[in-house]
Amino acid sequence: MYTDEEIRERLSKYGAVYLPEDIKEDIDDIKGNEDKKDRLDDFFKGLKKYEDISEQLKKTKLSPSLTLLLFGPPGTGKTSLTRAYAKQYEIAMCVVESDRLVSPLLGDTIKNIRNVVELAADIAKENGAFLLFFDEIDAIGSERSNIHEVGEIKRAVISFLQVIDKVNYEGTPLAIFGATNHQHQLDSAIWRRFTFHLKFDFPNYELRKEIIESYLDKIKNANIGVDDTIYKRLDQEYVKIREIHTNLEGKLGREISEFEDNLLWNEIEKKKDVQGFLKLTIGYSGSDIERGTRVALFKVIQTGVLTYDIFYDSLKLVGGTAVHVERQDILSHSKQRKGKEKYTSSRPPTSGPPEI
Ligand SMILES: Nc1ncnc2c1ncn2[C@@H]1O[C@H](COP(=O)(O)OP(=O)(O)O)[C@@H](O)[C@H]1O
Ligand SMILES: [Mg+2]
């Protein structure tokens, strides 16, 4: 058995170690993403009962593979949702900063990858289920990495895949997660090796409303005054957008997403009377909204009450990850492809399998 201290000490050179009691997030703190929550729930249940599953799978000659890839823009909940499940299911994890594994010397890169996976596998064998989370996994085997020679990149990828296969083959209860914001740059062999692929995205206006309200509620729960007009105006804006959205879908005879070809926001722009948080936060991630809330709190410390204007200005100040420039493009009916690309950039690489 490894003690908590040993786990922390031995893994900390690769990244952040989280024992369940270290984790603050709960699943409910991450709003929306219901489809991903279902998948993660199944996965973690499986991981907990790994011995049964592994026996069953062996009978079918399917080798069990505890691998899951999370992809999509930064700040959309990939890491925190995983942590929340690790806490819920009481599974220790390590978030590996993948670029720390990459060295200009190929031999070192391969050794680092092997060492961290083998150490985690050993912990899992001794202590039970463990989760190794490779953040920015595209750093392994992409042109972003420090390795410049194509042949060497391939060899690092191959050694990564081999060590994962070995762990899976031995039936060790080690889950291997990968997360990336650059799925297009991810080596397609790595993409294919992951059994599950979960796509994260910028929240649509409905989810942004829910996220904004959840942060307002947190402020309220901390006994800080929140001007009620914030909630009211948020509701009003939502109702207006919802109505335009429904009408547009009626006109087109099909469902459309907020981000599809700017259709919805072009329509809203024609009406001119939508102003507020939801319009401001197109292309914001959950994390951007959280940062905006923090900025607002600094003001509120001085004024005592969170007002509509303070909150609006703070959200505006932090800006959205999908960059203001592109949002301007959308609002000015620009046909520029650049802006559009940003919003739809979370497709898997074409060589990968369809999302499951
Ligand atoms: N859907 C969401 N609901 C509420 N908060 C969110 C949501 N998505 C992101 N956040 C906030 O942003 C923070 C950062 O998210 P994180 O998991 O680090 O994103 P990623 O790993 O995708 O880059 C979270 O801890 C959370 O506070
Ligand atoms: Mg992350």
In this predicted model, what pLDDT tens digit does every residue of 310-347 receive, in sequence order? Answer: 999 999 999 999 874 344 444 443 333 333 334 333 33
Token duo for residue 99: 């670029």
More confident residue, 322 or 200: 200
More confident residue, 96 or 351: 96
Report the Cα 235 to chain-centroid distance in Å: 27
> Domains of the chain, with CATH numbers?
4-199 (3.40.50.300), 205-343 (no CATH)
Average pLDDT estimate for 270-299 = 93
Q: Does ligand 1 come within 6 angstroms of the Cβ of 293?
A: no
Closest to 183 in 3D by CA, of 194, 172, 174: 194
Residue nearest to atom 12 of ligand 1 (CA): 287
Distance 192 CA to ligand 1 centre (A): 26
Find the range with the poorest average confidence among 87-101, 247-261, 330-344: 330-344
pLDDT band at 146 (very low <50, low <70, confident <90, very high): low
The whole-model pTM stands at 0.87
Q: Does ligand 1 come within 6 angstroms of the Cβ of 32?
A: yes
**Residues 86 and 131: beta-carbon distance below 8 Å:** yes
Q: Does ligand 1 come within 6 angstroms of the Cβ of 204?
A: no
Q: Taking 50 as the threshold, does the pLDDT of residue 124 lie above it?
A: yes
267 three-class SS: helix
Question: Which pLDDT does position 342 carry in this prediction?
Answer: 40
The residues near 292 (Cβ < 8 Å, ≥ 6 apart) are 284, 311, 314, 315, 316, 317, 318
Q: What percent of the chain has pLDDT over 70?
A: 87
pLDDT, one tens digit per residue, over 210-241 is 999 999 999 999 889 999 999 999 999 999 99
Separation CA 285–CA 133 (nearest Å): 21
Closest-approaching ligand to the CA atom of 135: 2
Which residues, in sequence order, are bridge partners of residue 196? 68
Residue nearest to atom 6 of ligand 1 (CA): 286
DSSP state of 187: -
Question: Which pLDDT does position 355 carry in this prediction?
Answer: 39
Q: Taking 90 as the threshold, does the pLDDT of residue 57 lie above it?
A: no
